[in-house]
Amino acid sequence: MSESNEQWRVHVDPTRCIGSGICAGTAPKHFVLVDGLARPLVERVAPDDALVDAADSCPMEAVIVSEADGLRRIAPEP
């Protein structure tokens, strides 16, 4: 993908999440459902295409992937 030290930030907006579980099904290494809502297992991760797929698949656009040290959103596209 990019240089090996790049990090992404994963966030689930709890006010938008409906607990569909699509993110956990698409990227089980990165998400878990807790009390009916999705949560990232860790906030900062190495780049992974599964995260982009999970964010793009979320019906409520609650999953947001961005650069860890920048403001650029990676997924879903704004």
- pLDDT at position 1, please? 46
Residues 15-70 pLDDT 10s? 999 999 999 999 999 999 999 999 999 999 999 999 999 999 999 999 999 999 98
- pLDDT at position 49, please? 98
The rounded Cα 38 to chain-centroid distance in angstroms is: 10
CATH pick for 8-75 out of 3.30.70.20, 3.40.50.11290, 2.40.37.10, 3.40.50.720:
3.30.70.20
Pairing of strands 31-34, 44-45: unpaired
- pLDDT at position 71, please? 81
Domain ranges in the chain are: 8-75
